Amino acid sequence: MRTTRTLAVLLAATCAVITAPTPAHAGTPATGAGDRIEAYLQRHREENRIPGLAYALVDRNRIVRQATWGVDGDGAAITAHTPFLLGSVSKPVTATAVMRLVETGRMSLDDPVRRHLPWFRLADDDAAERITVRHLLTHTSGLPRWASRTDRFDNTPEGLARSVRDLATVRPATAPGVAHQYSDANYMVLGALVETVTGQPFGTYLRRAVLDPLDMPDSAATSAEADRIGLPAGHRYWFGRPRRFDAPYDTSGVPYGYLAAGLDDLSHFLIAHLAGGRYAGTRLLSEQTVARMHTGQADTGGAGRYGLGWRDSRLDDTGTRVVWHAGAAPGYFAHVILAPGTGLGVVVLANSYSPAMDGPLAEAAFAVARMAHGGASPGRPAAGDPALTATLYGAVGLAGILGAAVIWSSIRVVRPRRVRARRVPMIVLGWIAGCAALVAGVAATPAMMGFDFGQALLWMPDLGRTMIAVIVLACALAITRVTAAVRDSRRGRR
């Protein structure tokens, strides 16, 4: 997710305003926090019309507390084993898999990508030659945010490599190492790199290197695994209300956004990262490697820095440090937070999503982290994205106006007036030009907001379909007005 707007910026802004006093004992939630957290999350679920919600508090050794509410898209009760698509929370999992290869010496952070992936190409060959593994992990490769088409739903064995080969026509936004620019394409390339280094499909390696050692049986890194665990449908918002959506699985998108996992699974992953790379007696990574992953290396331009697959920031001026990531996939939202200094971690999973709801959905995990550290319960809930909301309802209003105009124009076709013939060409050209400009403006709106029409239909079907209605009605208006003008001129010649 992927996110269709700049989800990372919204989350960073949310993070910057949250208060988080530190509890008296590291690894122990503040007294009474569990009840307050669960009461808040139930309100959060109701306010945002989330059909199914799951959360967990963990420390370095265990799941401290968890709860689930509601149902999945297929009507079954949410449990700690219900799989959710993780969106960009897949990235720290991918980074963990990559760092296992780094620790075993099969690659280095400063290896050029082409050392392992010699066929890697960009429109700027010099930039492609200089991009390193570290650049990809920290989103400093120079690849632009929308460098590649995501959500391909490609489950063929060559799907991931094919998506990377498609970058050959992409021109980097900056030189490698110059600036942080969040892009799914970075982790897409990492996935293909892992396949080449290990000689295994990315999902197979991820299962053997990370998912199985961390006891994550309800996870899926391939379409076959998604079928095996019964990944349920999620929900997309239509005019603020959730509607069931059963998206296809996308194996080619697993490295950056299509990993699936249950609440227990993701809790085990957080425990391992809080415990310095160890889970249930299994050493996944060294403490030094985990600390390096959690340490911000690239300035995000907002609150905090980006490390190796994790965001590194502080909740507020009390100095509580958090390492976190959030993500969205069609129909799902996920958010994980680690507080390395206190040894506490938070997981919040929701089975509904719209880019317009980024703020309200992202609020929950930060609020839980604050309360776990003794902070107050949230006040007024965060508002949705005003620009997207205004665009949606503006499009609805425009569709209504156009619909009324088409009806009026259709009546004019049936009841022509007397019009001088010489005026007809100007009338025809005027209506064609006006409606064409309107169609062009509506068609360009997704690009101006940072995505394409296909993504609008996938992530915001209410807005996408309303824009299609506007385009159809504008064309219909042009046709009826031209027809009416021609009939008027014929009557005028009688």
CA separation (Å) from 399 to 404, 411, 472, 474, 476? 9, 19, 9, 9, 12
pLDDT at 37 (0 to 100): 94
Total residues found in the chain within this entry: 494
- Cα–Cα distance between 13 and 454 in angstroms, integer? 28
Q: For the segment 45-73, what is each residue's pLDDT rounded down to a tens digit?
A: 999 999 999 999 999 999 999 999 999 99
Q: For the segment 307-342, what is each residue's pLDDT rounded down to a tens digit?
A: 999 999 988 645 679 999 999 999 999 999 999 999
Query: Among 72-81, 286-295, 461-470, where is mean pLDDT lowest?
Result: 461-470
pLDDT at 66 (0 to 100): 97
Both tokens assigned to 270: 């957080």
Both tokens assigned to 31: 């007294």
DSSP 77: B
Please give the domain boundaries of the chain with CATH numbers for all domains. 7-372 (3.40.710.10), 386-492 (no CATH)
- Cα–Cα distance between 479 and 351 in angstroms, integer? 43
pLDDT band at 125; cut points 50, 70, 90: very high
Query: If DSSP codes are grouped into helix, strand and coil, which group holds residue 59?
Result: coil
Query: Among 10-14, 267-271, 364-368, where is mean pLDDT lowest?
Result: 10-14
pLDDT band at 465; cut points 50, 70, 90: very high
Is the separation of the CB atoms in 391 and 39 below 8 Å? no
DSSP string, 294-311: HS--EE-SSSSEE-SSSE
- Cα–Cα distance between 9 and 453 in angstroms, integer? 22
Instruction: Please say if the pLDDT value at position 293 is more than 90.
Output: yes
Q: For the segment 82-102, what is each residue's pLDDT rounded down to a tens digit?
A: 999 999 999 999 999 999 999
Instruction: Please say if the pLDDT value at position 137 is more than 80.
Output: yes
Question: φ and ψ at 4, to 5 degrees?
Answer: -90, -25
CA atoms within 13 A on the CB side of 88: 26
- Cα–Cα distance between 383 and 358 in angstroms, integer? 9
Residue 383 vs residue 351, higher pLDDT: 351
pTM, two decimals, is 0.88
Question: φ and ψ at 463, to 5 degrees?
Answer: -70, -45
DSSP string, 183-204: -HHHHHHHHHHHHHHHSS-HHH
45-58 b/e with 16+ CB inside 10 Å = b? beebebbbbbbbbb
Residue 337 vs residue 301, higher pLDDT: 337
pLDDT at 148 (0 to 100): 85
pLDDT band at 20; cut points 50, 70, 90: very low
pLDDT at 454 (0 to 100): 82
Q: Give the position of tokens 């897949």.
A: 90
Sign for the pseudo-dihedral over CA of 463, 465, 469, 471: positive
Instruction: Please say if the pLDDT value at position 419 is more than 80.
Output: no
Is the separation of the CB atoms in 308 and 322 below 8 Å? no
pLDDT at 489 (0 to 100): 63
Query: If DSSP codes are grouped into helix, strand and coil, which group holds residue 243?
Result: strand
From the number of C-beta atoms within 10 Å of its C-beta (0-12, 13-18, 19+), residue 472 rates as: middle
pLDDT band at 32; cut points 50, 70, 90: confident
Both tokens assigned to 189: 């390339």
Sign for the pseudo-dihedral over CA of 40, 43, 48, 51: positive
Other C-beta atoms lying within 10 Å of the C-beta of residue 171: 12
Instruction: Please say if the pLDDT value at position 420 is more than 70.
Output: no
Instruction: Please say if the pLDDT value at position 450 is more than 70.
Output: no
pLDDT at 7 (0 to 100): 45
pLDDT at 179 (0 to 100): 96
Instruction: Please say if the pLDDT value at position 120 is more than 60.
Output: yes
